[in-house]
Structure 1
């Protein structure tokens, strides 16, 4: 019996003005504000509310109008959405993730667990969010109503990306661009796999991260291992799966740490994915990948989402663990 459940979909019409774009989804957005956003705010470090203004300045107002439009529908302060968009940089220790970029006869597939806080509320409010123009999904995101930044997304221009947490022992790079908001720009603006890799590699970031990017061909699979100001590119070895958890892997013997207690599980999850992929005897179906991602050697207590993206088909599937939807 499957331990996961498929999530619903929200389509946003890009041809509508911002003031009207989110109104059809007001019920879902207000529910997310009351439950998920409230839980997120409780766990943010004390005294960070003033940082919303700094995030807005650092992003040159790029997300301000959208944040205000969504906040009005949700009945909240738009600055709360700006802070949520920088949550990764502010609370790095809460995040994890396990990611597979695999070659198949139908092009590459990017499958990942999103190990994210607060996992129970996030699972309840997870949606496939498609930004539509003339009946076509220009971008597709595994997100929640009100989200501005992203950690898992796909572009109709033939690429998908997923971010995993990693630590460098240094902390916040105050002049860097917030990671989730930069990845949103990459998915929105880049026109090819190559351009996405370049944009992820070159931007100075507020925090370290690992970003797996896949295109429409099997040789278009890479993990960009980012420090705030530098990048290493780790490409797939032939048709072998490219795997990422929560430690730097570029070069053998790299001693840089993972993220908090996640470091102790990072290598075990990596080995679990390797073993289960090695045992496969057939093409990687969605169900086979979901079986791997939900396995006890890969899934964590904070695994809130299972996501599968196939850029050649412009298709994203989002599931959440059924156990997180049960009453406490």
Structure 2
């Protein structure tokens, strides 16, 4: 039986001393790095080239953290880096369904993380990382041991953010990977508006869709991104705010052949919209119920989660394996 694990990262410490792993974390992270590098199928020369590019792109603190993580896991820096760049290098295997709904206590924000994985490695390795002593306050991310970036996170009293995959016709850029931008924004942005601005305007390496929610009614937006462009989509009176794996505002047909995630995007979007119209969820538990609908959840769903940024509450479930009870606020 899998269980969620917790990691605490003290941002007041030097980057090289922030991450400390229990033996179970080391085992899980080592297994995940092996899966990532096998999926990517890159040779040592390519790894070294990517690592050399990273030296000019990554914030110094992130690079130092990655170096320390690599050392702790008995891996090389390029191996640890490529594990953290799995989205940017192989995003075609990443799906997701996410939505946001207003409640009297502030917006709730929920998402399924859909990702092809080997032997449930991503399910079983799931960890909630609590970042403390940050310049703008505490925050947490839902990820895995050894992953220093962020796909999903909530900063109490500020905002929450999740990432969905999408494909455009715009070439990728030698720029900051979005998983590290999200981590930076969770650490440094003081409020919803600042987070939205930075997530929208910063040039990034590849395309993505970002759902961001704040702490008061109406603070919710889907940011449609290509590496250099953005558009904002907000809820309407007829349609609540949800996101799967399609652009709605940006005209950017990638011309890529459809895969299961892209083929099911419209179907999942239609179904989650129906559920939100019929019964807007006011609690984190009801959010997970909607995500578990058999026309929304996929066989490759590895994580389910719900956040409320106003209080810092979160709920994380590993499908069919383990469910965490609602937490106390961070």
Please give the residue correspondences for 1:36-115 in structure 2 after superposition, counting only pairs within 5 Å. 36-47=32-43, 48-50=46-48, 51-115=50-114
Q: Distance in 2 between matches of 1:297 and 1:162?
A: 21
State the match for 1:33 in structure 2. 29
Residue 66 of structure 2: SS of its match in structure 1?
helix
Match in the other structure for 2:284: 286
Does the residue aligned with 2:299 lie in a helix, a strand or coil? Answer: coil
> Which aligned pairs between 1:214-293 and structure 2 lie closer than 5 A?
214-237=213-236, 241-250=240-249, 256=253, 260-261=258-259, 262-280=261-279, 283-293=281-291
CA displacement at 1:76 relative to structure 2? 1.4
Structure 1 length as normaliser, TM-score?
0.88
Matching of residues 108-147 of structure 1 within 5 Å: 108-118=107-117, 120-133=120-133, 138-147=138-147
- Taking structure 2 as the reference length, what is the TM-score of the superposition? 0.87
Residues 56, 82 of structure 1: 8 Å contact kept: no
SS of 2:138's equivalent in the other structure is strand
Partner SS, residue 63 of structure 1: helix
Aligned length: 316
Equivalents in 2 of 1:22, 1:209: separation in Å? 28
Deviation of 1:147 (Å): 0.5
Report how far residue 65 of structure 1 moved.
Answer: 1.1
Separation in 1, partners of 2:236, 2:160? 19
SS of equivalent residue, structure 1 residue 205: coil
Q: Residues 21 and 181 (structure 1 numbering): CA distance in 2 closer, same or farther, change over 3 Å?
A: closer
SS in 2 for 1:49: helix
Q: Deviations over 1:221-278 (max 9, x none)?
A: 0011011111101112259531000000127xx5735974122100100111112223
Residue 137 of structure 1 and its aligned partner are, at CA, apart by: 6.4
* In 2, Cα distance between equivalents of 1:204 and 1:137: 25
Q: After superposition, give the CA deviation of every residue in 1:65-113 in whole Å (9 maximum; x if it has no partner).
A: 1112222222211222222222211112111110011111111011000
> Which residue of 5, 10, 14 maps to 1:8?
5
Q: Deviations over 1:33-61 (max 9, x none)?
A: 33111111100143441212212321253
Give SS of 2:26's match: helix
How far, CA to CA, are the matches of 1:240 and 1:266 in structure 2? 16
Report SS of the residue matched to 2:7.
strand
Residues 156 and 57 (structure 1), Cα distance of their counterparts in 2 relative to 1, 3 Å cut: same
CA distance in 2, matches of 1:297, 1:152: 22
Gaps of 5+ in 2: 324-330
Cα separation, 2, equivalents of 1:258 and 1:152: 28
Alignment-derived partner of residue 313 in structure 2: 315
- Structure 1, gaps ≥5 residues long: none
Query: How much has 1:125 moved relative to structure 2?
Result: 0.9
Give SS of 2:60's match: coil
